[in-house]
Amino acid sequence: MTVDVYVSRDASALSLGAEAVAKAIAAEVRSRKADVRLIRNGSRGMFWLEPLIEVSTPAGRVAYGPITPKDVPGLFDAGFLTGAKHALALGATEEIPYFKSQQRLTFARVGITDPVSVADYVANGGYQGLRQALSMSQADMVQAVLDSGLRGRGGAAFPTGIKWKTVLEQPTAQKYITCNADEGDSGTFADRMLMEGDPLVLIEGMTIAGLAVGATQGYIYLRCEYPHAYQALQEAIAAAYKARYLGTDVMGSGRRFDLEVRLGAGAYICGEETSMLESLEGKRGEIRVRPPLPAIKGLFGQPTIVNNVITLASVPVILAKGAQFYKDFGTGKSRGTLPIQLAGNIKQGGLVERAFGLTLKELLYDYGGGSASGRPIRAVQVGGPLGAYIPASQFDVAVDYEALSAIGALLGHGGIVAFDDTVDMAKMARYAMEFCAVESCGKCTPCRIGSTRGVEVIDRIIAGVDTDRNLRLLEDLCETMLQGSLCGLGGMTPFPVTSALKHFAEDFRR
């Protein structure tokens, strides 16, 4: 009987040597004439165990890891194809506590299926949302998304259903669905994992969006730093066209939806929605002044949905299982689940999808296992380079939109970067300004000039020059950027700076 063996094609797994492991397995299979089908899946998101190998046994999938090519002959000798014992055996994959305690809705198939196989996708619950959608009116589809409480997972947390409703109400013939896959925030990789591990769920979500608002063309705007995601998306889109889930006759409905991937070119600002639209039009990624909103006048001047990868990939489960099912997860105004990314100086980094409401402490210690260096975690940055630094005294905060906002922080795209006690917070504040200076599109003065002046002021503070005066000046500058910038880059760069000043004042007076 053919045994299925899984080795991930996820970029993080590859970065730890998964390709060499896959090659070693293929070589052993040939020399031992074993009856094995090697499947390149996504990652389960437990990166301290990668490269992870899984084997399908009659009792379910069992895991071994982390594996190096040198371990492979020994695994065959030990009989891992039947799930036998081995020093690196981890038991049933789905019984590993880190994985077992999760509530995976958006990531339901990531790490499980062959990411580019439509048959595998359908066999594991795929395209049920689209099937359901095809039996509904446009207004009902939009209402389902509205009722689910889904909010934009890219960071702005705007109710997705309201955006869709606005686009639906435009009388224009040509509308667009655009997916913002310019995941530039440090500490975030959920979009990447999803596009590499289950790209078809994103394709399905965009197709549903197209049907719901009457758009026939979709674009995925992908950052060029993600070549592995690009490859997976291209393969999955080709497979979906071949199986007629994309194209002129979606699932035999007679309705059309076309989809293509466009590559960015290394500009953080293009994660801002209007800048992304400019870039998709082949222009400099300079932000647009709003209004008009993209939902009214977006790509090529037409009504356009701009949603993040995770937002769109959460739509199929909402349509398949109903708005109420999704809404029953979560708390307060933060409904559904959130794929949280544990990153930086953390022992067990990876992806944790859970209903909103876990505390930072649970995430950092119960899942993350504390710092990678073994030293105390002194600070975390939540929400990317524009997110606030949170001190250990506030680790009891719940990770949801409202609770974080109440302590002056933000959730952003759900990335959590841990720093141990060797971190110099004045340096991190300087970096926030420096990053803004490198990535500013230059359209507005507070961002373009303010960030450069910010670096200079912090340099003077670090050098101990006229500290009190320069600290006042820095706060004043932050206020100007916050109030006067056109978009979130200049407007939010002050968050890491002022939070570092507030919670780690001692680092600025040495």
Partner 1 sequence: MVAALRSRPGALLEILHGVQAELGYVPPAAVPVLAAELNLSRAEVHGVVTFYHFFRQAAGGKHTVRVCQAEACQSMGAEKLTEHVKTALGVDFHETTADGRFTLEPVYCLGNCACSPAVMRDGDIFGRVSPERFDELLGEWRKDS
Structure token digits, residue 383: 């929400």
41-80: contacts with partner 1 (CB under 8 A)? 47-48, 50
Which x/- pattern, by CB under 8 A, does the window 245-264 give for partner 1? -----------------xxx
User: Does the protein bind partner 1 through residue 344 (CB under 8 A)?
Assistant: yes
Instruction: Walk across the sheet containing 3-7 and list its strands.
Output: 36-39, 3-7, 53-57, 60-64, 89-92
Contacts of 63 (CB under 8 A, 6+ apart): 44, 49, 52, 53, 54, 89, 90, 91, 92, 93, 96
**Residue from 167, 200, 340, 343 in contact with partner 1 (CB under 8 A):** 343
User: Is the CB of 132 or the CB of 274 nearer to partner 1?
Assistant: 274
Rounded to a whole number of angstroms, the minimum distance from the CB of residue 103 to partner 1 is 20
The H or E element that residue 54 is part of is: strand 53-57
User: Does the protein bind partner 1 through residue 495 (CB under 8 A)?
Assistant: no
Q: Which listed range, 6-14, 23-31, 156-164, 246-254, lies at the site for partner 1 (CB under 8 A)?
A: 6-14
Give the residue from 54, 194, 197 showing the smallest Cα distance to 115. Answer: 197
**Residue from 35, 238, 300, 463 in contact with partner 1 (CB under 8 A):** 300
Rounded to a whole number of angstroms, the minimum distance from the CB of residue 328 to partner 1 is 29
DSSP of 336-347? SEEEEEEEES-T
Which x/- pattern, by CB under 8 A, does the window 162-201 give for partner 1? ---------------------xxxxxxx-xx---------
For helices 138-148 and 160-169, angle between their N-to-C axes, nearest 10 degrees: 160
List C-alpha distances in Å: 406 to 187, 192, 375, 403, 410.
22, 29, 28, 5, 9
**Residue from 61, 228, 327, 448 in contact with partner 1 (CB under 8 A):** 228
User: Does the protein bind partner 1 through residue 419 (CB under 8 A)?
Assistant: yes
Angle at 311 between CA 126 and CA 93, to 5 degrees: 55
Q: Which listed range, 117-125, 266-274, 312-320, 460-468, lies at the site for partner 1 (CB under 8 A)?
A: 266-274
List C-alpha distances in Å: 316 to 43, 117, 144.
20, 17, 11
Number of residues that bind partner 1 (CB under 8 A): 61
Report the interface residues with partner 1, using CB under 8 A: 11-12, 14-16, 47-48, 50, 183-189, 191-192, 224-228, 262-268, 279-286, 300, 341-346, 349-350, 372, 381, 385, 415, 417-420, 423, 428, 431, 435, 438-439, 441
